[in-house]
Amino acid sequence: MARAIWRFIAGFVLPLKGGLLALRHRHLLALAVVPLILNLMLYLAALALVVHYYEEWFGLLFAQPQAWY
């Protein structure tokens, strides 16, 4: 059980260790920046689409009631 907890905590610490490694080795930092920027652009584009089409997509989930009168 303690080993599982240690692995869970290590999962949060490893990205920090990777960042420190990239800062120590500048050539690795250059290789890591390109995917980071690409991912940020993709997430921002997805967020912009959600914000722009939110009402339309939400409207597809709940149909407007039919007026019977």
pLDDT in tens, 24-64: 998 988 888 899 999 999 999 999 999 999 988 888 888 77
Range of the domain at 40: 2-61
| 23 pLDDT more than 80 | yes
Q: Shortest CA distance to 43 belongs to which of 33, 53, 35?
A: 35
Token digits of residue 57: 């997509």
- Specify the pTM: 0.59
Token couple for 43: 């997430």
Alpha-carbon span 67 to 35, nearest angstrom: 51
- 66 vs 32, which has greater pLDDT? 32
Q: Is residue 69 part of a domain?
A: no
Q: What pLDDT is attached to residue 57? A: 85
In a domain, 66, yes or no: no
Instruction: Tell how many helices (H) and how many strands (E) occur in the chain.
Output: 2, 0
Please tell me the total count of domains within the chain.
Answer: 1
